[in-house]
């Protein structure tokens, strides 16, 4: 999607800009060689393929500021990029400079008294989890892309993941933040105490701003206990309605509930084939739901008791911590990877009011069939949060018709067009239909105030992008 022509030699980075940036970060950290920068130009799914003017990799907030000042002086756009695991084309450059944050990866000391840690924005989630594990702590947000996704990217997208039912999204984990604005100014919110309210809350402003308001350079994260006992069950329901009806019951009966995740029949079959794992159930269920609970006391019996007698439950496999738990989680966590192994998907991360989920998913089937004879639907997601990932394989990645039909269905069912992956480029042109005019006006005013020249992530989260079926970026990447 959005292919932009590879710039010819004349359009390749001005050697002046490359020289300016090399003077700031060192020549080894300004990348211009096409084969070296190729990995920064395409998104994780392969659907968004752009071109980078160059890639610059600063090591400190001061260097980030100097890089932005240099880029601003020469014009053009700057695309912040962390682990490049985003799924809405938000980190893909279209003739822009890529500012890679991966060298901002310091891990500060763990503050055990308040259960917090300060880390660089380029640290991966997995590195932070390993760093705090000896203190019996972990992060409130966990996602399958933990090995590559960075804390800065997760803040910028307000990432959700499998534990939101207990701990909320990335926004709720933020105690403090440091960021660099488009003009190179450093801003910090560094509260001296947890009780610290009043005024604009900078972490909330930047969470979910997808690199359009500032570049996050450091974050102070709230941590959560790393529970000693976990129990997980993969549950087969006869239909999605029964699975949804079970959610309030499970919430009531499991005080330490950590996850309620959903995989449809197609998703379960894909993972089993891709990972070479036996199907977990004899008969393929319409809805498989993974339920996890975690505490500082054994919780397996409690989980099994909570499942007992749930209407529509056909079968269940349960395990406590260890390899069996990992195997059960694989049926859910490896769906994204199994889909990518088959082809380039149309991937729509959407939110639905829980009561409308069964009707919405039922309506997806006919909509996808209409997209073409090869179209295949896979749906999975964070069921307790009403967050579904709708994937359509077998449809031309450049076509946007099926995306439009699905987003239209989402709005018709009272849902939201972006749940946890962000809006990026993929859904920018849908913003004006999904947000009130007042909200959009505030968003535009904030962008203009903080980035009047439109330097940061042009075209991302931008309600002004071209209307349906015509949003290929122009020369300025919008």
Ligand X SMILES: Cc1cc2nc3c(=O)[nH]c(=O)nc-3n(C[C@H](O)[C@H](O)[C@H](O)COP(=O)(O)OP(=O)(O)OC[C@H]3O[C@@H](n4cnc5c(N)ncnc54)[C@H](O)[C@@H]3O)c2cc1C
Residues at the site binding ligand X, with contacts judged by CB under 6 A: 44, 79-87, 90-91, 101, 121, 143-145, 148-150, 152-154, 156-157, 159-161, 210-211, 215-216, 336-337, 420-421, 424, 457, 460
In angstroms, give the least distance from the CB of 221 to ligand X. Answer: 14
Which residue of the chain is nearest ligand X when measured via CB?
153
CA separation for the pair 435, 61 (Å, rounded): 33
Q: Least distance (Å) from ligand X to the CB of residue 321?
A: 21
Q: Of 41 and 420, which CB lies nearer to ligand X in the complex structure?
A: 420
Return the number of other C-beta atoms located less than 10 Å from residue 38's C-beta: 12
* Residue 128 beta carbon to ligand X: minimum distance, rounded to whole angstroms: 12
Q: What is the DSSP letter of 124?
A: B
To ligand X, the closest distance from the beta carbon of 142 in angstroms equals: 8
Checking 35-42 for CB contacts under 8 A at 24+ apart, the result is 37/98, 39/84, 40/81, 40/84, 40/93, 40/98, 40/100, 41/92, 41/93, 41/98, 42/92
Q: Which is nearer to ligand X, 95 or 153 (CB)?
A: 153
Whose Cβ is closer to ligand X: residue 148's or residue 265's?
148
Q: Cα–Cα distance between 429 and 465 in angstroms, integer?
A: 5
Q: Minimum CB separation from ligand X for residue 177, in Å?
A: 10
SS3 163: coil
Nearest distance, CB of residue 81 and ligand X, angstroms: 4
* Angle, CA of 83, 162 and 393, to the nearest 5°: 70
Residue 139 or residue 336: which is nearer to ligand X going by CB?
336
Measured from the CB atom, the residue of 83 and 140 that comes closer to ligand X is: 83
At its nearest, how many Å lie between ligand X and the CB of residue 216? 4
| Closest to ligand X by CB, 90 or 312 | 90
Rounded-to-integer distance, Cα 275 and Cα 332, Å: 12
What dihedral angle (degrees, nearest 10) is formed by the CA atoms of 403, 408, 412, 418? 60
Nearer to ligand X, 44 or 360 (CB): 44
Beta pairing partners, 100: 81
Residue among 259, 251, 45 nearest 160 (CA): 259
Are the C-beta atoms of 219 and 108 separated by less than 8 Å?
Answer: no
SS3 (DSSP) at 59: coil
Residues in the chain: 478
């Amino acid at each position: 999607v959005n292919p932009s022509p590879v710039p010819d030699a004349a359009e390749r980075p001005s050697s002046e800009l490359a020289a300016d940036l090399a003077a700031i970060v060192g020549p080894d950290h300004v990348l211009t060689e096409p084969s070296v920068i190729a990995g920064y130009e395409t998104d994780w799914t392969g659907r968004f393929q752009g071109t980078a003017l160059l890639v610059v990799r600063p090591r400190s907030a001061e260097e980030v500021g100097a890089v932005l000042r240099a880029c601003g002086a020469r014009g053009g756009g700057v695309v912040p990029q962390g682990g490049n695991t985003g799924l809405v084309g938000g980190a893909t450059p279209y003739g822009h400079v890529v500012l890679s944050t991966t060298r901002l990866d310091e891990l500060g000391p763990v503050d055990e008294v308040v259960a917090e840690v300060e880390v660089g924005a380029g640290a991966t989630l997995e590195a932070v989890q390993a760093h705090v594990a000896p203190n019996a702590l972990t992060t409130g947000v966990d996602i399958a892309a933990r090995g590559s996704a960075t804390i800065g990217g997760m803040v910028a997208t307000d990432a959700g993941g499998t534990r939101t039912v207990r701990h909320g999204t990335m926004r709720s984990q933020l105690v403090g933040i440091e960021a660099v604005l488009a003009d190179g100014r450093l801003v910090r919110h560094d509260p001296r105490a947890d009780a610290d309210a009043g005024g604009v809350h900078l972490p909330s402003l930047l969470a979910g701003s997808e690199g359009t308001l500032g570049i996050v350079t450091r974050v102070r994260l709230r941590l959560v206990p790393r529970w000693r006992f976990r129990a997980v069950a993969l549950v087969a329901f006869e239909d999605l309605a029964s699975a949804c009806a079970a959610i309030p019951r499970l919430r009531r009966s499991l005080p330490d509930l950590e996850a309620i995740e959903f995989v449809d029949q197609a998703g379960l079959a894909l993972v089993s084939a891709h990972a070479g794992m036996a199907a977990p159930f004899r008969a393929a269920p319409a809805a498989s739901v993974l339920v996890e609970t975690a505490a500082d006391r054994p919780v397996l019996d409690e989980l099994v008791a909570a499942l007992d007698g749930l209407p529509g439950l056909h079968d269940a496999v349960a395990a406590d911590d260890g390899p069996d738990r990992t195997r059960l989680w694989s049926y859910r966590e490896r769906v994204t990877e199994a889909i990518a192994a088959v082809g380039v998907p149309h991937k729509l991360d959407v939110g639905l009011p829980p009561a409308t989920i069964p009707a919405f998913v039922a309506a997806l089937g006919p909509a996808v069939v209409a997209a073409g004879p090869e179209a295949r639907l896979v749906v999975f997601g964070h069921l307790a949060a009403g967050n579904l990932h709708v994937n359509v394989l077998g449809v031309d990645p450049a076509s946007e018709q099926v995306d439009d039909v699905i987003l239209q269905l989402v709005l018709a069912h009272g849902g939201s067009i972006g749940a946890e992956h962000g809006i990026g480029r993929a859904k920018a042109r849908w913003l004006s239909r999904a947000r009130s005019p007042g909200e959009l006006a505030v968003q535009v005013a904030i962008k203009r105030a903080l980035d009047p020249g439109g330097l940061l992530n042009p075209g991302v989260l931008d309600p002004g992008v071209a209307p349906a079926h015509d949003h290929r970026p122009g020369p300025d990447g919008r």
